[in-house]
Every structure is written in structure tokens, then in C-alpha cells.
Amino acid sequence: MRTVFTPLHALHAPATEFFRGERVPCFEKVDRARYVHEALVARGHRVDAPEVDSRAVLPQVHGERYLAFLESAWARWLALDPANAERQPFPSTWPIRTLRADCEPAEFSAQLGVYSMDSGTPICAGTWAAAKAGADAAATAARWVSQGERAAFVATRPPGHHAGPDFMGGYCFLNNAAVAAQALRNAGAARVAVLDVDYHHGNGTQAIFYERADVAFVSLHGDPRTEFPFFLGHADETGAGAGRGHNLNLPLPAGTDAQSWFQALAHGLAHIRQSHAQALVVSLGLDTFENDPISKFRLRSDDFLRLGERIAALGLPTVFVLEGGYAVDALGLNAVNVLEGFEAQAAV
């Protein structure tokens, strides 16, 4: 399976985040993609650089005002005070209920609140370059698949599935899965399905496609009553307008074991079959692993082989996009297991 990877991911390397009220070292770190890349090379997978500029696709999934803010944010932060080069900007005010987000404030930290869903998604000097390179990688994988590759893997970071039409959050800035899905649509796929298997609900992807009938969204994730992102991912969210019936959330309780998780996956895959999708994007979160430090499902490394097999059985051209997974030492093995399980089933 062809993999697209860019070393530019390492430009996004903030030192700390806020986690449950404390400033802690970032869980989403450079080593995540490095370990995946090393495992791919060790197992003989072909790894290439991005070939596609995603700028044409980005405004189809994100608002132009948000994109302009994100691209200029670090320069504007430095313009406030050159000493800010040694500081990370975090929002402190958000336009929640009864407050207005349509009138963009002129003050930088207030703008940061407009475009952030949490205080745990730090920006640094290389954030835009890394996020844009990841979107380029997603668009590249979509091109390969639209041109005849059975599948391709986007092995980069930061992740993307919490990034919505006009906001960042959950370590995510640009929604790589949405970029891949839109690029597949642009290349001629009448309908695309997105399967999100990250422990945390892909609220950003759901928001982008919620009112669309051409992209189905299926997510297995921790129950949002107790798990991030908390405010989206409930089973009664089934789509709106033209998208009604095209959104399926399968929230599961903390402690869910592999047997129960795969039962939910079977339900999700049946929904994808019924959607008549012509291509598939997988938001490949690997934080369902039993040893993940911030997640609470109990999949083992061998279960990721089974996951790859189940996805391949759909018979769809597939783009895998790396999302979460914070048991860093096991991340490479678990990622490669999904790909090799997929390839083994696809070859049958």
C-alpha cells in the first residue's frame, strides 16, 4: 500500500497543552508520526512525499475566514510582542450561547477563542506548515486512489477529525479526512463514506458533512457523556436536511472490549454498504488500544489486523488517515497491522 508522509509534520512541536486544568507536556507529539514512519519502512511499505497542493480543496471543507486566521496566527502573535516567540497562545474567552461569533473581534486572543473549541490545541511557529502539509498528503492519497490504487495511507500529523468548518480543537487544525473525502468527490466519486474508528468522536468531520447526502459519516467512539469532545457524538445525531439519515454515531461505554467493539463495527460497516459509497476514507485513530494513556477501550495489537480485514471486505477504494493514538511505542505496530490486515484480505 502506498503511503504519503512528510517530515514537515515535525514543525508542529508545541511544548505544552492544558489538560483538565493543568499545563502538561503534549500528548500529541512528534514521535507519533516518527514511530509510524519507522514501522512502515521496516516492514517494506512504499513511502512517498505529497504531490498535491490542497489549497483548492481546503475552502470546500473549511471557511475562508478560518483558513486566513490559521495561516497568519503565529505571525500575528509575534507582532504583538517579539517575546511571544517563547510563549504559546491559548484562548481564554469563547463566544458560547448568546454571544456572537459572526462579528470577528480585532483582538488576537479573542479571535483565538472564536476559532478554538478548547484550550488544549496549542499553536506554535510551525503549526500552519505542518497542518497544510498534512492536508496536502490527504489530497495526494485521494488522487492516488482515484487514479486506481486500491488503498493509500496518510501517515502524518497533527490529526484532523476534530477540526470543523471554522474551528480547531482536539489537537486538530485542518480536517485531513474531510479533505480526502472532498478530493475523492471532486475526482468523480458520486458518494463517499467516512469511517471514524478513533476513540474520540470526529465532531469536526460530522459538522462538515452533516447536511450533505454525498458523504456518509460513521463513527465508533467513547460515549460523549463522559469522553471528549463531550458535546457531539450522540446516537440521535443522524444528519439534517439533505444529510438526514447519512450520519451514524455508535457511542460505546468506557471499558468496551474487542468483542463488543467489533459488533459495533459490523453495524457501521453495514450502514456504509447501504450508503452505496464508491470510495471510503478511514479516520484511523489508534487510541482504542488497551494501553492508550488517555482512552478507555481494550483493543490489542492483533485486533488491528482484524480491523484492516473488515474494512477491506467492503471492497471500496480506501484512503486511511492517521488520527489519534498516544501509546507512542505501539503506534507504529498498530498502524501497520491495520494496513497489512487490509492488504491480506484485499488479496483474497
pLDDT of res. 348? 85
Q: Specify the DSSP element, H or E, that contains 23.
A: strand 22-25
The model's confidence at residue 26, banded by pLDDT at 50, 70 and 90, is very high
Kindly give, in sequence order, each residue whose CB lies less than 8 Å from that of residue 327, ignoring residues fewer than 6 positions away: 286, 287, 289, 291, 292, 293
- Distance, in Å, from the CA atom of 325 to the CA atom of 88, rounded to the nearest integer, reads 23
Mean pLDDT computed over 284-297 = 97
Catalytic residue among 9, 161, 162, 221: 162
pLDDT of res. 257? 98
3-state secondary structure string, 124-165?
CCCHHHHHHHHHHHHHHHHHHHHCCCCEEEECCCCCCCCCEC
- C-alpha distances out from residue 339 to 36, 168, 266, Å: 12, 28, 18
Task: Assess whether 234 carries a catalytic annotation.
Answer: no
Mean pLDDT computed over 285-295 = 97
The pLDDT of residue 305 is above 90:
yes
Cβ 222 vs Cβ 295: under 8 Å? yes
pLDDT of res. 99? 96
**Reading across the β-sheet that carries 279-284, which strands appear in turn?**
47-48, 2-4, 151-154, 318-322, 279-284, 192-196, 215-222, 247-252
The pLDDT of residue 21 is above 90:
no
Q: DSSP state, 180?
A: H
The pLDDT of residue 163 is above 90:
yes
pLDDT of res. 19? 84
The pLDDT of residue 83 is above 90:
yes
The share of the chain scoring above pLDDT 70, in percent, equals 100
* pTM score: 0.97
Mean pLDDT computed over 282-303 = 98
pLDDT of res. 345? 95
The model's confidence at residue 20, banded by pLDDT at 50, 70 and 90, is confident
Q: Which residues pair with 152 in a beta bridge?
A: 2, 319
The model's confidence at residue 307, banded by pLDDT at 50, 70 and 90, is very high
The model's confidence at residue 18, banded by pLDDT at 50, 70 and 90, is confident
pLDDT of res. 129? 98
Cβ 341 vs Cβ 304: under 8 Å? yes
The share of the chain scoring above pLDDT 90, in percent, equals 97
The pLDDT of residue 302 is above 90:
yes
The pLDDT of residue 13 is above 90:
yes
